[in-house]
Amino acid sequence: MKYYDKLIFELSQNGRCGCSLPDNGFGETSCTELPTALQRAQAPELPQVSEPDVVRHYTNLSSMNFGVDTGFYPLGSCTMKYNPKINEEIAALPGFTSVHPLQPLSTVMGCVQVYKELSDYLCSITGMSAFTLNPFAGAHGELTGLMLMKHYHLLHGDVSRRKVIVPDSAHGTNPASAAVCGFEVVQVKSRPDGRVDVEDLKPLLDETVAGMMMTNPNTLGLFETGIREIAQLVHDCGGLLYYDGANLNPLIGVVRPGDMGFDILHLNLHKSFSTPHGGGGPGAGPVGISEKLKGSLPQPDFYCGEQEFSMGRISGFQGNFGVILRALAYILMLGRENVKLLGSYATLSANYIKVCLKDCYELPIDSVCKHEFVFDGLKDKSNEVTTLDVAKRLLDYGFHAPTIYFPLLFHQSLMIEPTETESRQTLDEFIKVMRTIAEEAATSPDMVKSAPHNTPVRRPDETQAARHPILKA
């Protein structure tokens, strides 16, 4: 064990201190003014270390982690693309970081312009007619969108619509958001080719349906070829069509959800439009609406002004401004011509990996995919090397694991999304390593099953780690 791999408590020496404060001139203060119930019986056991010890401790800790800045991160369903550093510089400009949300509007017109420009770009990329940038995450956008859906029906005096239809391949947040919004969730099945089963959908559609949530391409990375018919059917029964736009990446510059007939959508700026979002934040989930829902966006809204039929308030102020800035910087940095290439490159990268690996990994749905695709584990299952083992072994080779055991449609799901930001060389290296692991699984399965071998943390007991996490030494 290296000296600085020790816990900071083990480095502690009584009386050592990392800083020195000037004498306060008041002498020792006593705690006697605090009620005894609030006083400590003993001094807290804080580590007593020097400044270099603190710096080395945290610097070493930070390098134990894996991030998109340290390696390829092919997480399916979650678009972990590289975040250009110019975004960070723009978001750190003092003119932006020092504004306060309660400042008079006239003093923050630059920020208002940022909101306006980003909303306009999002409208033209998605084909929607207006956006709110208030929601703080994808799931928060979903909730906002569903509240808009509910609000729309209530405005039309339609009180019987309590159901929301969700495909069985949907991201888990879809049924969760619908339930949180008070809807009854009804599942529609997928066909063997992975698309929504329109025949299964038809009997579900009646006057109790508020709408249907979809993502296109769906969670298997497949384009829903029946989307026009589905939109027609949902609209014919009086429902609205909701688009989960966390999967917008492959569509950018190619087709627009607004043109497919979607009425409400959310985007994940922290996915499709870059912003580091490992570990659960920060995010931004703007919601776009079609002409039908005009005037119902949440308040406050800087540039759309007073909304005639506003659904109300869903956040204190105007969303996560830092993420909004990064998204605008990303779009402007690429420019119109390059933004149009995003979707095509994301699609090309995914298909390239899929084709190069499908002889050693099981490909349950073999058709042209969009930005991501799903393997059902290794093709050769004789040594019982699982998807979890493959994922762990990848870490030994310096790649982050793809999404595993999701979607739930297959037993050994291994879901890969390379994004448009990776070079051909990186993709080739990943393919080479995936092939090596398949070979190892055949020749030395125990080695794969006991991986990872060279990461700071080996293989924790997943069940114990989830149920009884040890958060301190």
Ligand X SMILES: *Cc1c(COP(=O)(O)O)cnc(C)c1O
Which residues contact ligand X (rule: CB under 6 A)? 77-78, 137-139, 171, 173, 215, 244, 246-247, 268, 283, 285
Task: Please choose, from the candidates 201, 198, 244, 247, the residue with its C-alpha nearest in 3D space to the C-alpha of residue 220.
Answer: 247
Closest CA to 170 of 370, 356, 407: 407
CB of 181 to ligand X, least distance (A): 14
Closer by beta carbon to ligand X, 77 or else 274? 77
Rg (CA), the chain: 26
Q: With the C-alpha atoms ordered 114, 422, 246, 63, is the resulting torsion angle positive or negative?
A: negative
| Residue 452: CB minimum distance to ligand X, A | 25
Q: Is 134 left (phi over 0), alpha (psi -120 to 50) or beta?
A: alpha
Q: Which residues, other chains included, contact 224 with Cβ-Cβ below 8 Å and sequence gap of 6+?
A: 195, 196, 214, 216, 217, 218, 230
How far, in Å, CA of 163 to CA of 431, rounded?
44
Least distance in angstroms from the C-beta of 289 to ligand X: 18
Task: Name which of 238 and 343 has its Cβ closer to ligand X.
Answer: 343
Q: Cβ of residue 435: shortest distance to ligand X, in angstroms?
A: 28
Query: What distance in Å separates the CA atoms of residue 119 and residue 324, rounded to the nearest whole number?
Result: 10
Q: Is the four-CA dihedral 35, 37, 42, 43 of positive or negative sign?
A: negative
Q: What's the token pair of residue 86?
A: 């110019």
Of 247 and 387, nearer to ligand X (C-beta) is 247
Q: How far is the CB of 415 from ligand X (least distance, A)?
A: 11
Output 282 or 452, the one with its CB closest to ligand X: 282
The distance of closest approach from Cβ of residue 315 to ligand X in the complex, given in angstroms and rounded to an integer, is 14
CB of 152 to ligand X, least distance (A): 21
CB atoms within 10 A of CB 299: 15
Task: Give the side-chain half-sphere CA count within 13 A for 13.
Answer: 8
**Chain position whose Cβ is nearest to ligand X:** 138
What is the CB neighbour count within 10 angstroms for residue 218? 22
Minimum CB distance to ligand X smaller for 253 or for 407: 407
Minimum separation from the CB atom of position 140 to ligand X (A): 7
Give the up-direction half-sphere exposure of residue 101: CA atoms within 13 A in the CB hemisphere: 11
Please state the closest distance from residue 125 (CB atom) to ligand X, in A: 17
Give the torsion through C-alpha atoms of 377, 380, 386, 392, to 10 deg. Answer: -90
Q: Which one, 246 or 297, has the nearer CB to ligand X? A: 246
Nearer to ligand X, 57 or 195 (CB): 195
Q: Which is nearer to ligand X, 345 or 406 (CB)?
A: 406
Q: 139 vs 385, which CB is nearer to ligand X?
A: 139
Residue number, 138 or 238, with CB nearest to ligand X: 138
Are 100 and 343 in contact, with CB atoms under 8 Å apart?
no
| CA 98 – CA 90 distance, rounded (Å) | 13
Q: Residue 416 in 3-state DSSP?
A: strand
For residues 268 and 274, give the distance between their C-alpha atoms in angstroms, rounded to a whole number.
Answer: 9
Least distance in Å: CB of 254 to ligand X?
18
Residue 413 near residue 363, CB atoms below 8 Å: no
Strand partners, 299: 313
CA distance 84 to 422: 12
